[in-house]
Amino acid sequence: MCGITGKLYFDCAHPVDAKLIRQMNSILRHRGPDDEGIWTNGPIGLGHCRLAIIDLSPTGHQPMCNEDGSIWITFNGEIYNHLDLRADLERRGHHYRGTSDTETIIHLYEEYGRDCVKRLRGMFAFALWDSQQWCLLLARDRFGQKPLLYAETAEGLTFASEFKALLQDPAVSREINEIALHHYLTYGYVPAPLTAFRQIRKLPPASILFWKDGHISIERYWTLRYTPKLELGEEELAERLLTLLREATRMRLMSEVPLGAFLSGGIDSSAIVALMAEVMDEPVKTFSIGFDNQSFNELHYARQVAERYATDHHEFIVTPDALAVLPELVWAYGEPYADSSALPAYYVAKMTRPYVTVALNGDGGDEAFAGYDRYLAVKLAAYYERLPLWLRQKLVAPLARRLPEATSRKAILRRFKHFVLATNASPVRRYARWLTLMSNEDKCNLYTPEWRARMAELDSLELLEQAFSLADSTDFLSRILSADVHTYLPDDLLVKMDIATMIHSLETRSPFLDHRLAEFAARLPSHYKLRGRTGKYILRHALRSHLPDSILHRDKQGFAVPIGHWFRYDLRQVVYDVLLDPKTLARGILDGEKMRTLLDEHVSGRVNHRHRIWELLMLELWFRTYIDRPRAALAGPAKGIL
């Protein structure tokens, strides 16, 4: 894992200042503390901060060039099939100087041009300069595990792994993107390709940006296909699934430094630990996070797996005091980000790093095999709609509206209320009810009249509807899974894991995001993913000899945080002080009286606004970190913002 930076001037007579690349690099040293490199040549400059995983020798230094120095690359990621690719390239006459997978990308580009990305099996973001063709290629992996941001300015193109590095370039504006912030309040993250900054864009997953002759083009090189469905028996499908997952896990054990695994106690991470234990010569090092609030604590499940496979197990308890790290988290993410599980992710990474440099995880399993409760909710909605219309409208729905927002995370009443109130919408918008933190109506109720008028014509749910339209299947579950792969997975989950781990110089790898495994899973008939009330049916079946029943048949819990409780007690004064601060209200977005009502309702227990309070808090702390401070101060977290 690494941090990459670079700048290209459109005017070939304008040289890149190496000091700028060096400054951009310096902000990313947490991503690569082991080595640093800078290369400039006239209007192009590339930078690299290295976390050494493979080829620890000097031959792995980046930016890296080919034999004649005509091609240069700065690369972040791991290519798991690089040895197979290398063998083929050597047969074709290519000569290597080291053992790095970075060198393989260079030779692959020499052989296949920009189609080289189609042959890569792994996670990556890279920038490649071809001086003979006088062109620049930016590329990102299929699922978006590795970030790549860019800004097109009047003078050129600037790119980097993180916002804070990109903003070291004075040519890149910090003007906010109001539309992006409006969408953020719906989803809790800014949907790609937008960012919170008007001039900065995210390169979408499975995409390349190509610059040549003054023109920029962006093209997608891969799409996950859900058809045609596989027509095989259950046992054969389970066997093939286990073979692919075992191969994906084995490939991700490639490392010259210590590695381990995150273990939540859920099916996905437990499966990875089980398969690691099959092939490793020493006990797997496992790392788990928990809370003193037992309704959010999964440590006892993680211990069952750790004991079964005799792992070298480590645990950490997060308390409300952990929120002292909020300024660092806000600085790390670079734009408003409201997934509260970033907090335990941060701490499990911090706990893990002293022991290992690489950790495997279970990311992607829910999106591949229908593991979230919301998938079942959509299925049940179809049965609910078979009830007589008068019964739903006159009795059930009015009753649901009067129910309080229960404070327990697993509360049946809360789940029933959300289920009923979502069933009258279109299928897509019904699903959105389970994905969004605020509806358009919710946001407008909190906005000032001026801001409400500016956002009146924007419907954030249209973004989700567009994602649904990308699916190549008419099967509704497949369309839901496809939409999550295009939105929630890359824009929320993978952002969380990359930033929370790389701030501690820790690399994470996700076997479930192996694209060959994902392609197999996508083509499974839906009844092998969601059968009755059981999600991940075929995955549970495939793992029946590897995991205890208590793990295989437990309900989905997730990486949740008891923020609702914290906001009522330990952090009550903090949220009042920040969200009702005159500085906050002077931004012209939130109405002070409505904000106070929201906070009062939560503290009294009448309504559980925990997610809304969290995302509003993250928004204001982002303003104080990235907008209010001088550009030079972005090199570190903001002090005194809480």
**Is 328 part of any domain?**
no
Q: Do 34 and 174 belong together in one domain?
A: yes
Sheet holding 135-140, edge to edge: 64-65, 71-79, 122-130, 135-140, 207-212, 215-220
pLDDT tens profile 18-42: 999 999 999 999 999 988 999 999 9
| Residue 422 predicted with pLDDT over 70 | no
pLDDT for position 320: 61
Q: How confident is the model at residue 407 (pLDDT cuts 50, 70, 90)?
A: very low
CATH of the domain at 244: 3.40.50.620
**Is 558 part of any domain?**
no
| Residue 411 predicted with pLDDT over 70 | no
pLDDT tens profile 524-534: 999 999 999 89
Place of tokens 């000032």: 448
pLDDT for position 85: 97
| Residue 402 predicted with pLDDT over 90 | no
Task: For residue 213, give the amino acid letter.
Answer: D
Structure tokens at 94: 């290519």
Q: Do 142 and 37 belong together in one domain?
A: yes
pLDDT for position 424: 64
pLDDT higher at 55 or 157:
157
Structure tokens at 306: 């750790």
36 phi/psi in degrees, rounded to 5: -140, 145
Q: Do 78 and 208 belong together in one domain?
A: yes
Q: Do 167 and 99 belong together in one domain?
A: yes
Which member of 2, 12, 65, 135 is catalytic?
2
The whole-model pTM stands at 0.94
Last residue of a domain, one of 426, 447, 482: 482
Range with the poorest average pLDDT among 319-328, 332-341, 430-439, 546-555: 319-328
What residue numbers bound the domain in which 296 lies?
234-315+337-370+489-552
| Residue 206 predicted with pLDDT over 90 | yes
Q: Give the side-chain half-sphere CA count within 13 A for 583.
A: 14
Residue 30: helix, strand or coil by DSSP? coil
**Which of 171-175, 385-389, 421-425 has maximum average pLDDT?**
171-175
Q: Do 120 and 193 belong together in one domain?
A: yes
What is the DSSP secondary structure assignment for residue 569, as one 8-state letter? T
CATH of the domain at 134: 3.60.20.10
pLDDT for position 55: 62
Number of domains in the chain: 4
262 phi/psi in degrees, rounded to 5: -80, 135
562 phi/psi in degrees, rounded to 5: -80, 55
**Is 326 part of any domain?**
no
CA dihedral 460, 473, 235, 545 (to 10 degrees): -10
Structure tokens at 27: 């902000």
Q: Do 364 and 377 belong together in one domain?
A: no
- Decide if 559 contacts 264 (C-beta within 8 A): yes
**Looking at the chain, how many residues does it have?**
642
Q: What DSSP string runs through 179-205? A: HHHHHHHHHSSPPTT--SBTTEEEPPT
Q: At what angle do helices 412-422 and 373-384 cross, to 10 degrees?
A: 60
Average pLDDT over residues 283-312: 87
Alpha-carbon distance 154 to 171, whole Å? 8
**Is 331 part of any domain?**
no
| Residue 429 predicted with pLDDT over 90 | no
Residue 153: helix, strand or coil by DSSP? coil
**Is 330 part of any domain?**
no
Last residue of a domain, one of 185, 220, 255: 220
Q: How confident is the model at residue 410 (pLDDT cuts 50, 70, 90)?
A: very low
Range with the poorest average pLDDT among 70-74, 431-435, 466-470, 582-586: 431-435
Q: Do 263 and 411 belong together in one domain?
A: no
Average pLDDT over residues 261-281: 96
For 230, 370, 391, 499, the CA distances from 522, given in Å and listed in that order, are 9, 10, 37, 27
pLDDT for position 135: 98
Q: Do 240 and 285 belong together in one domain?
A: yes
Q: Do 32 and 115 belong together in one domain?
A: yes
pLDDT for position 433: 79
Q: Do 585 and 534 belong together in one domain?
A: no
Alpha-carbon distance 406 to 430, whole Å? 21
Alpha-carbon distance 286 to 279, whole Å? 15
Structure tokens at 69: 């120095």
pLDDT for position 462: 94
Q: At what angle do helices 299-308 and 267-279 cross, to 10 degrees?
A: 20
Q: How confident is the model at residue 397 (pLDDT cuts 50, 70, 90)?
A: confident
CA 357 to chain centre: 20
Structure tokens at 66: 């080919």
Q: How many helices and strands in the chain, by DSSP H and E?
A: 30, 19
pLDDT tens profile 449-485: 999 999 999 999 999 999 999 899 989 999 999 999 9
Q: Indicate if 2 belongs to the active site.
A: yes
Q: Do 366 and 379 belong together in one domain?
A: no
446 phi/psi in degrees, rounded to 5: -95, -20
Burial class (CB in 10 A: 0-12, 13-18, 19+), 170: exposed
- Decide if 255 contacts 82 (C-beta within 8 A): no
Q: Which residues, other chains included, contact 130 with Cβ-Cβ below 8 Å and sequence gap of 6+?
A: 70, 71, 109, 136, 137
- Decide if 571 contacts 324 (C-beta within 8 A): no
> What beta strand segments (E) does 378-463 contain?
none
Range with the poorest average pLDDT among 142-146, 315-319, 516-520: 315-319
Average pLDDT over residues 241-261: 94
Alpha helix segments (H runs only) across 1-147: 18-26, 82-91, 101-112
pLDDT tens profile 112-160: 999 999 999 999 999 999 999 999 999 999 999 999 999 999 999 999 9
Range with the poorest average pLDDT among 191-205, 206-220, 337-351, 557-571: 557-571
Task: For residue 494, give the amino acid letter.
Answer: L
**Is 9 part of any domain?**
yes
Burial class (CB in 10 A: 0-12, 13-18, 19+), 219: exposed
Alpha-carbon distance 575 to 570, whole Å? 10
Last residue of a domain, one of 220, 246, 267: 220
Alpha-carbon distance 343 to 560, whole Å? 9
| Residue 12 predicted with pLDDT over 90 | yes
Alpha-carbon distance 48 to 70, whole Å? 18
pLDDT for position 617: 97
| Residue 406 predicted with pLDDT over 90 | no
Q: Give the side-chain half-sphere CA count within 13 A for 3.
A: 34
Q: How confident is the model at residue 558 (pLDDT cuts 50, 70, 90)?
A: low
Average pLDDT over residues 3-13: 96
Burial class (CB in 10 A: 0-12, 13-18, 19+), 301: buried
Q: What DSSP string runs through 272-336? A: HHHHHHHH-SSPPEEEEEEESSGGG--HHHHHHHHHHTT-EEEEEEE-GGGGGGHHHHHHHH-S-
Alpha-carbon distance 23 to 5, whole Å? 10
Q: Give the side-chain half-sphere CA count within 13 A for 207.
A: 18
Percent of the chain exceeding pLDDT 70 equals 92
For 27, 343, 425, 565, 616, the CA distances from 319, given in Å and listed in that order, are 29, 10, 39, 11, 21
Percent of the chain exceeding pLDDT 90 equals 77
**Is 327 part of any domain?**
no
Average pLDDT over residues 568-595: 96
- Decide if 328 contacts 301 (C-beta within 8 A): no
CA 476 to chain centre: 24
Q: Do 276 and 404 belong together in one domain?
A: no
Q: Which residues, other chains included, contact 234 with Cβ-Cβ below 8 Å and sequence gap of 6+?
A: 528, 538, 541
pLDDT for position 409: 44
For 38, 373, 396, the CA distances from 379, given in Å and listed in that order, are 53, 10, 18
The mean of the pLDDT values for the chain is 92
pLDDT for position 159: 98
**Is 227 part of any domain?**
no
Across the chain, which distance is largest between two alpha carbons, in Å?
A: 77
575, containing H or E segment: helix 572-579
